[in-house]
Structure 1
Amino acid sequence: MLRFVLKRLLSLVISLAVASVVIFLFVEVVPGDPAAYMLGMNAQEDTLAALREQLGLNGTLVERYLSWIGGMLRGDFGTSYTYRTPVAEMIGERIWISLPLAVYALTLSTLIAFPAGIWAASKRGSLADVLVMGFTQLGVAIPNFWFAMLMVLLFAINLRWFSAGGFAGWDAGFLPAMKSLTLPAVALALPQASILARVMRSSLLDTLGEDYIRTARAKGLSRRQALWRHALRNALIPVLTIIGLQFSFLLAGAIIIENVFFLPGLGRMVFQSIAARDLIVVESVVMLLVFAVILVNFLVDVAYAVVDPRLRVKA
């Protein structure tokens, strides 16, 4: 098990190193000068040069990369060009909105998908199976931002159970803050729950067709008993993959939903920073999100080894 974990850790470090180079080069080659954007089109050349020097934009690509990555390793993400505020402080403020939102949405998705997928698999070919698969197909097809706007119209404007947008803040209390995140979390959870339920059903049906399940049935176990005692655990490997990918998506890909609900999260901050050519914020936040994605994939690999001991031997 230790060898398996160490190999995955080495892969994690290599992936982060490659990702940092790609992110830096990609952001740096985007057209536009942050200094010119901040000072306007009529700024004097000497003023632009002074601002570029102040922002550290005059160094070579290698110098700027090493300065940026070295600062991140020390916990210093640099200073925002636009707000003149440490990027770490900006991330610290926003992540306590994006992270709970992602966890909330993933929890709702899992609570919906697991029972639905297991029930559909246990009722294969029945009306219940057809209905579950029909609803999941609908959930995959509906864009989450459109569903979000429908929920705002119904629950915020007509029924007035929730606010139409904004974040109450954790200072207002846990329940008011979670209430602010409920509609965005539901909007994010619907398509993810639909995907996860379909994967859960498919994986269970494949597992129920294995020889050891037929042997268990031949020894007297009912289909329900074979499903819960033997099939479910072995069907979890592809499901864990989807859960890991979904969490990464929910943390890094909620830009549209955060803009629909005016949530001051990481996604909205990246969107605003791109518009303002605030390169240091874009690089640091994207690198942090990539780290979260790679870390989640690492934890999923470890979870694989826990669920299926055969993987430790192969590693």
Structure 2
Amino acid sequence: MLHYTIKRLASLVISLAVASLAIFFVIEIVPGDPASYMLGINVQPDTLAALRAELGLDQSRLDRYVSWITGMLAGDFGTSYTYRTPVARMVADRLWITLPLAGYALVLSLVIAFPAGIYAAARRGRAGDTAVMGATQLGVAIPNFWFAMFLVLIFAIRLRWFNAGGFPGWDNGLFAGLRALTLPAIALALPQGAILARVMRSALIDVLGQDFMRTARAKGLSRRQALWRHALRNALIPVLTIVGMQFSFLIAGTIIIEQVFYLPGLGRLIFQSISARDLIVVESVIMLIVFAVIVINFAVDLAYALIDPRLRART
């Protein structure tokens, strides 16, 4: 297990290094100078040069990359060009919306997927299985931003059960915060729950066909008892990998959903920073999201190895 962990940790470090290079240099080659954007087209050359020096834009790209990455390793994400505020503080303020939203959506996707996948697998080939698979196919096909607008139209505009957008703040109570995040979380959870339900069904059907399941049935267990006592645990191995990946996708998916619902999270911060050519904020926030995705996948790999001893034996 130690050897496997070291290998995965080395892969994590390499992935982060490659991602940081790609993020920095791809954003840096985007046309447009942040200082020129901030000062306008009629700016004097000496004023422009002074602002570029203040922002550190007069340094070479390699020097700026080294300064940026070493600062992030020390917890310093730099200072916003537009707001003149530490990026770490901006991220911390927005993180308390994005992370609860992604976690809320993950819980909803599990609530949707597990019963649906188990129900479909237990009724393979019957009408219930066909109905569940048809519903999940529809869930996968519908874009989450379109579904988000549909939810706003029905539950916010017509029924007036929820607000169409905005966030009241956690200071107003947990219920008020969760109420504001409910529609965005449902919009995020639908496609992920549909995918996970299909994976759960396939994994269960594969396990139900194994020899040890026939042995369990031969010992007198009913189909339901064999499914809940033996099949479900073994089917969770591939499902666990998908769950970890889904949380990563949910964090990234908040970028669009936060725009639809005007939530002041990391996704909206990225859009605002792109519009203002605030490159240091864009680079740092995207790197933070990539870091979260890679670390989550690393944790899933370790959990996978703990559940499946065969994986440890091969390393």
Do they fold alike, i.e. is TM over 0.5? yes
Contact 2:162–2:180, Cα closer than 8 Å, also in 1: yes
Contact 1:12–1:294, Cα closer than 8 Å, also in 2: yes
Shift of 1:167: 0.3
The alignment's TM-score, normalised by the length of structure 1, stands at 0.97
The one-letter code of the counterpart of 1:228 is W
Shift of 1:242: 1.4
Deviations 1:17-48 (A, max 9, x none): 11111111111111110011111111111111
Q: How does 1:8-19 map to 2 (within 5 A)?
A: 8-19=8-19
Shift of 1:4: 2.1
Contact 1:148–1:187, Cα closer than 8 Å, also in 2: yes
Comparing 188-197 with 221-230, greater Cα deviation is found at 221-230
Deviations 1:238-279 (A, max 9, x none): 211211111111112222211110001101111111121111
Shift of 1:219: 2.7
> Cα RMSD between the aligned structures?
1.1
**Secondary structure of 1:166's match?**
coil
Counterparts of 1:300 and 1:44 in 2: how far apart (Å)? Answer: 54
The one-letter code of the counterpart of 1:143 is P
Shift of 1:75: 0.5
In the alignment of these two chains, the number of paired residues is: 315
Q: 2:171 maps to what in 1?
A: 171
Q: 1:79 maps to what in 2?
A: 79
Contact 2:192–2:246, Cα closer than 8 Å, also in 1: yes
The alignment's TM-score, normalised by the length of structure 2, stands at 0.97
Counterparts of 1:265 and 1:149 in 2: how far apart (Å)? Answer: 18
Q: 1:62 maps to what in 2?
A: 62
Shift of 1:229: 1.8
Comparing 157-166 with 285-294, greater Cα deviation is found at 157-166
Q: 1:135 maps to what in 2?
A: 135
The one-letter code of the counterpart of 1:71 is G
Q: Runs (4+) of structure 1 moved beyond 4 Å?
A: none
Contact 1:273–1:281, Cα closer than 8 Å, also in 2: yes
Counterparts of 1:298 and 1:239 in 2: how far apart (Å)? Answer: 16
Q: 1:53 maps to what in 2?
A: 53
Shift of 1:142: 1.5
Shift of 1:63: 0.8
Shift of 1:215: 2.4
Shift of 1:226: 2.0
Q: 1:300 maps to what in 2?
A: 300
**Secondary structure of 2:41's match?**
coil
Deviations 1:178-236 (A, max 9, x none): 11100100111111111100110011111111222222223332222222222212211
Q: 1:240 maps to what in 2?
A: 240
Shift of 1:11: 1.4
Counterparts of 2:95 and 2:147 in 1: how far apart (Å)? Answer: 24
**Secondary structure of 2:244's match?**
helix
Counterparts of 1:173 and 1:40 in 2: how far apart (Å)? Answer: 43
Counterparts of 1:253 and 1:146 in 2: how far apart (Å)? Answer: 13
Contact 1:117–1:198, Cα closer than 8 Å, also in 2: yes
The one-letter code of the counterpart of 1:24 is F
Counterparts of 1:212 and 1:268 in 2: how far apart (Å)? Answer: 51
The one-letter code of the counterpart of 2:169 is G
**Secondary structure of 1:254's match?**
helix
Contact 2:117–2:197, Cα closer than 8 Å, also in 1: yes
Q: How does 1:148-227 map to 2 (within 5 A)?
A: 148-227=148-227
Comparing 55-64 with 149-158, greater Cα deviation is found at 149-158
Deviations 1:267-292 (A, max 9, x none): 11111111211110011001100100
Q: 1:91 maps to what in 2?
A: 91
Shift of 1:303: 1.2
Structure 2 gaps of 5+ residues are none
Q: 1:2 maps to what in 2?
A: 2
- Tell whether 2:9 aligns with 1:20: no
Structure 1 gaps of 5+ residues are none
Shift of 1:3: 2.5
Contact 1:233–1:307, Cα closer than 8 Å, also in 2: no
Counterparts of 2:230 and 2:14 in 1: how far apart (Å)? Answer: 37
